[in-house]
Structure 1
């Protein structure tokens, strides 16, 4: 019997637990550990922050989801991991494991610049449920007394889609409310150019994003570093000052504290290095899924930024990890696999949207190119994101990670989640 723990019950951890339960015989124990009782569909948080959707609409009770599905549930935060002895500490409980899957998601580096700290409360973010709720409350107050709006990201951030969504959705809403003429909107990003998205070379994405921002009369500061935040203005490293009445800024991500404090486990930001199997190179009993995974940027940018780890990438990592653990245990007679890291992302802008397809997210290190890079604009993107939200939540309710028809749909698009190691 193998004892397998999955730390984190988000878009990475919950589907990975489901897939391992599907693959592994019941004698193998699967324990899901999370510091929150709810599963949240994170891609919908910009909608929550702007009051377009309630948080409850995109959350599920994890204990109810895993009950009677052969997955043990532990509610609590991991304070320490001991890779040598294969143990984690949750509160006063010590849990031993044979395999550990780290899928904790992101910790927000709110100490990245002065004034970003949560206790200061100057600006908003939509990176976790609590922050999205605070952003929604502040947004309603802002509508009563509108003024300059600043949206963007802090240097080191690695997921820019929510910032573009928030800025363009805010513009759309303000026009509907008849308030847009009272609200100058500024978009500030550390990306070398808008539409870079942390990966560069994304077909015509820069052209489409730039066109939309121009059409919506949103002023852009690209290749810009926010150096300090005050109660009514944002200071850039080049000396520019951006006044604001409301600001939504995406902070950099890092790994959980227990990862950063474990010797030889992570880099200084708490991200875990991985082999192509997504095992840790020094501790092969530990696997990584999602934001906690160390991925090197495809290029060095003037201002540091991270690599996005999208939902599809995270899902692919989880399926690869579940498969490879099955191979390790002798349950699956098949080659080891690695995630393809292909990504289809849907960004909703209210009356339109952009679908980004990167195959693969990280370009070939030798040629510097991807097999495919596509960006398409249309109102259908907004509808598609709503449909996908409902689809993903339904999957989680049903205890299924990737149903057969999802595999089929990806194949129709020429995509896949995993591939044999022999193909890399």
Structure 2
């Protein structure tokens, strides 16, 4: 019997545990460790921050759903991991494992800039449930005495979509309150919005753009009279001001800036396990290149950009990519255990993203996520329309239903992706042939 431990119960961890349980016989134990008692559908947090969605609507109690699917659930924090001795240390005990899947998600690097973050700083964040609630509390106070708003992303940030969503949703909320009338009719309580991004240009998204995303995002912002400052580095924050590296100061009574990500401390403390930022390097199979017992999925994996930008930024790992990683990791661990035979597989790293912008939305499809060295992809498509917002709401409900039922990507969803030419995984190709792994006798 083997014990496979999944660390983290977010968009990568919970589906990984489900997929492992689905593919592995019950003689093998699957354990899920989470320092949070609830699963949260992270893409909906911009709504939570602006009071457009209650947090409990997008959360599930892990203790209620995980054990009923044959998975051991441990609500605890991981203090340390030792890949050499195959041990994970929690607060009160130590677990032995045969394989560990690291799916922790990111740690927010709030010490990257002075004044960054809602606790001990002067900015809001929508990167985790706690911060989204704090952002909503600050938003309600802001509405009592409104003033200038700054939304954006700090140098080193890698997830830009939620910042655009927040800025455009905030415009829509304020417009309904009469605080964002057109310039011709501006009153004394008009709320200016400034979007500051470390991207080389708006719509770059950390992936060299996606279709016509550059022009689409610029038009969305311009049509709503949101001032755009692209390729701009923030240096620090004060209670009602955002300081830029070039010396300019932007007044702000409400500031929502996405911070850089890094891997959790307990990973960074293990020699050779992560890169300098705490991200886990992986082979195409998503196994660690040095520690055979370690796999990783989601934001915590290392994904290097293909270009150097004037201001350092990271590469996003979106939800569909993470699900592709979970399929690959579960399959490849099953191969190692001799449960199945065949080829190792890898994720195709395609991205499909829905963004709600208030009275409209945008769908982005990148196949694959990162272009080749010449800037080309198989496909890069963007669509816009109110229907995108409806689809995002429907997908939220669908994904939460999957997590209740113990599904990762059911057969009909895989069939749908294949039908539109998006295979989620593919065999790993070596220099000469496909590497086949047979069951252990």
Structure-2-length-normalised TM-score: 0.94
Partner of 2:80: 80
Partner of 2:120: 120
Query: Which of 215, 218, 222 in structure 2 is aligned with 1:207?
Result: 215
Q: Deviations along 1:276-326, whole A, 9 cap, x unmatched? A: 000000001100100110000121000000000001111111111001001
Partner of 1:384: 391
User: Which has the higher mean CA deviation after the structures are superposed, 176-185 or 288-297?
Assistant: 176-185
**Contact 2:150/2:254 (8 A) holds in 1:** yes
Query: Which of 330, 353, 356 in structure 2 is aligned with 1:348?
Result: 356
Partner of 1:281: 289
Partner of 2:436: none
CA shift for structure 1 position 87: 0.5
Partner of 2:312: 304
Show the 5 A alignment for 1:128-207: 128-181=128-181, 182-207=190-215
Q: What CA distance in whole angstroms lies between the structure 1 residues aligned with 2:284 and 2:324?
A: 12
Partner of 1:339: 347
CA shift for structure 1 position 416: 2.0
Matched, 1:315 2:323: yes
Partner of 1:67: 67
Q: What CA distance in whole angstroms lies between the structure 1 residues aligned with 2:291 and 2:201?
A: 39
CA shift for structure 1 position 243: 0.4
Q: Deviations along 1:140-194, whole A, 9 cap, x unmatched? A: 1111111001000100000000000000000011111111141000000000000
Q: What CA distance in whole angstroms lies between the structure 2 residues aligned with 1:123 and 1:256?
A: 21
Partner of 2:414: 407
User: Which has the higher mean CA deviation after the structures are superposed, 405-414 or 91-100?
Assistant: 405-414
Poorly superposed stretches of 4+, deviation over 2 Å: 117-121
Q: What CA distance in whole angstroms lies between the structure 2 residues aligned with 1:349 and 1:120?
A: 30
**Contact 2:80/2:90 (8 A) holds in 1:** yes
SS at match of 1:68: helix
Partner of 1:329: 337
Aligned length: 423
Partner of 2:376: 369
SS at match of 2:45: helix
Show the 5 A alignment for 1:18-97: 18-97=18-97
User: Which has the higher mean CA deviation after the structures are superposed, 267-276 or 67-76?
Assistant: 67-76
Structure-1-length-normalised TM-score: 0.98
**Contact 1:110/1:118 (8 A) holds in 2:** no
Q: Deviations along 1:199-220, whole A, 9 cap, x unmatched? A: 0142100010001100000001
CA shift for structure 1 position 388: 0.5
Partner of 2:185: none
Q: What CA distance in whole angstroms lies between the structure 2 residues aligned with 1:104 and 1:80?
A: 13
CA shift for structure 1 position 120: 2.2
Partner of 1:100: 100
Q: Any unmatched runs of 5+ in structure 2?
A: 182-189, 432-441
Partner of 1:419: 426
Q: Deviations along 1:13-65, whole A, 9 cap, x unmatched? A: 00111011010000001100010010000000000000000000000001111
